[in-house]
Amino acid sequence: MFDFLQPHLARTFFDQYMSVYHTFSENNKNKKSAVPHAPYTVSDQLYKLLNAANTGNKTVSIHNQETPDENELFLNKSGGFVEFFKNFGFSIDDFLPDQKTSIHHAISNLNPLHKTLFVHNTLSTEEDIAAAQNWSDKVYWATCPNANLFIENRLPVYQNFINRGAKMTIGTDSLTSNWQLSIWEEIKTIHKYASYVPLTSLITWATSNGAEALGFDDSLGSIEKGKLQVWSHWKILSVMRKKLTYHIPLRER
């Protein structure tokens, strides 16, 4: 959800979104949450409404630090988003920058008791990652490498996340910013441009970490008795530098 940093419009936007939200079912196989779009599009008032709406064990996702403009807005109220709001006819005259990167604004408004999935994180530093993980022990990070290359032509520094022991997951974003919706293609992209990330880590990011982040780790994400297993064939990734061939089972629908 978003309200373009307009607190006086928070309730109006919230009610519109919730009318759609309530049309979706929720049971053991379906989960839903009311989530903020990104720090630069959500007012403090809308965060409060979202926090109140999310009861129980929820996973809340939020786009994070996808572009330099996002950080610049919160550091000193500069960058491309100032013009962005102006072009949409929204005033941010009352907006006061935190003089910190955008993730600090997000964690000051989100509920640390919920699982929080930060998405993209293209510009997240070790300091940013540490701040979020000190805020809550339920933080997960979703990387969408092909979408990042599509939009910004850059990738996160994955070593920052490895250094902080971050719980990484892998996503795709949507077809508006990707060439396909394939976790396997995302794995291949990370392996191509950040070959220092162990393949075993990439598989964990794509499977068990994702299931845990979304609350499906009791039935998905690993090969265990009682969990859903639908393995139809083996994909092969050749790691030429090591002259090894890894055989990786991928789940197909």
Helix (H) or strand (E) holding 71: helix 68-76
Split at pLDDT 50, 70, 90, the class of 122 is very high
pLDDT score for 219? 79
Asked if residue 247 belongs to a domain, the reply is: no
Tell me: pLDDT of 39 over 90.
yes
Asked if residue 93 belongs to a domain, the reply is: yes
* Rounded-to-integer distance, Cα 39 and Cα 62, Å: 8
Choose between 153 and 232: higher pLDDT. Answer: 153
How many whole angstroms from its chain centre is CA 51?
18
Q: Which domain holds residue 103?
A: 7-224
Which of 29, 32, 34, 30 has the alpha carbon at shortest distance from 47? 34
pLDDT score for 226? 72
* Rounded-to-integer distance, Cα 37 and Cα 54, Å: 15
Which CATH number belongs to the domain containing residue 86 in this structure? Answer: 3.20.20.140
Asked if residue 233 belongs to a domain, the reply is: no
Which of 48, 50, 45, 44 has the alpha carbon at shortest distance from 1? 50
Tell me: pLDDT of 245 over 60.
no
Q: Which two tokens stand for residue 248?
A: 């990786």
Q: Which two tokens stand for residue 194?
A: 């950040």
Spatial contact of 92 and 7, defined as CB atoms under 8 Å apart: no
Asked if residue 66 belongs to a domain, the reply is: yes
Asked if residue 243 belongs to a domain, the reply is: no
* Arithmetic mean of pLDDT, 215-242: 62
Residue 134's CB is within 10 A of a number of other CB atoms, namely 10
Asked if residue 249 belongs to a domain, the reply is: no
Q: Give 102-118 as a 3 state SS string.
A: HHHHHHCCCCCCCEEEE
pLDDT score for 235? 47
Asked if residue 61 belongs to a domain, the reply is: yes
Split at pLDDT 50, 70, 90, the class of 241 is very low
Choose between 72 and 29: higher pLDDT. Answer: 72
Average pLDDT, the chain: 90
| Strand ranges, E, within the chain | 59-64, 115-120, 139-143, 168-170, 231-239, 244-251
Residue type, 217: D
* Rounded-to-integer distance, Cα 151 and Cα 43, Å: 25
Q: Which two tokens stand for residue 69?
A: 């403009």
Asked if residue 237 belongs to a domain, the reply is: no
The total number of structural domains in the chain stands at: 1
- pTM of structure: 0.90
User: How long is the chain?
Assistant: 253
Split at pLDDT 50, 70, 90, the class of 75 is very high
**Cβ contacts of 62 within 8 Å, gap of 6 or more:** 35, 36, 37, 38, 39, 106, 110, 116, 117, 118, 119
Residue 97's CB is within 10 A of a number of other CB atoms, namely 15
Burial of 95 (0-12, 13-18, 19+ CB in 10 A): middle
